[in-house]
Amino acid sequence: MTLLLPALFHWAPADRRPSIRAEGLRPYCPPTISTGDNVTWPYLCFSPSPSAAWGLSGDMAWVSEIEQWDLWQVRLADGDEVHYRSDFGPKLTEIRVYNTIPADRCWYVATRQPACAEQA
C-alpha cells in the first residue's frame, strides 16, 4: 500500500526564520521542544494540519518564553526518509522526517503568539 501524505506543517520560533529561509529545516538542530539539555534529534517533526503541529510545539507550557512562532508548510519528495508515529493510534498526528527539507520546499505561512501571550 502506498500512503500519499498531504502538505505537512511545522512550527518554529520566529527568530529561526532567516536560517530556515537560507538552509531549510534541518535535523540535529537544537530543538525547541525537548526533554533535557543538550538533546538533539535526528529527525524533524511535522503534522498534517497547523493545529495538530501547534499541539506538538507552541502549545506546550514550558515554551512560553518564545514570543512568536512561524508556521512552515512542506511537501515531501521522493527520497525523503519518512516515519510516522504509530503510538498515537489510527489518527496520523506526527510524521518524522530524517533528512533536511531544503529551503526551496519550505513555505512560510504565518506567525502567531502562544495562547498564554495572547491572553496577557
- Extract the runs of DSSP E, i.e. beta strands, from the chain: 8-13, 44-46, 69-74, 82-84, 95-97, 106-112
pTM given for the model: 0.84
The domain that holds 88 is classified in CATH as 3.20.170.30
Q: Report CA-CA distances (Å) from 51 to 34, 46, 55, 93, 112.
A: 19, 11, 6, 10, 12
User: Residue 28 belongs to what domain range?
Assistant: 8-118
DSSP 3-state assignment of 25? strand
DSSP 3-state assignment of 83? strand
Give the tens place of pLDDT for each residue, 46-100.
999 999 898 877 666 666 678 899 999 999 999 999 998 777 667 788 999 999 9
76 belongs to a structural domain: yes
What's the number of domains the chain is made of? 1
3 belongs to a structural domain: no
**Residue 120 — pLDDT band, cuts 50, 70, 90?**
very low
79 belongs to a structural domain: yes
Element (H, E) at 28: none
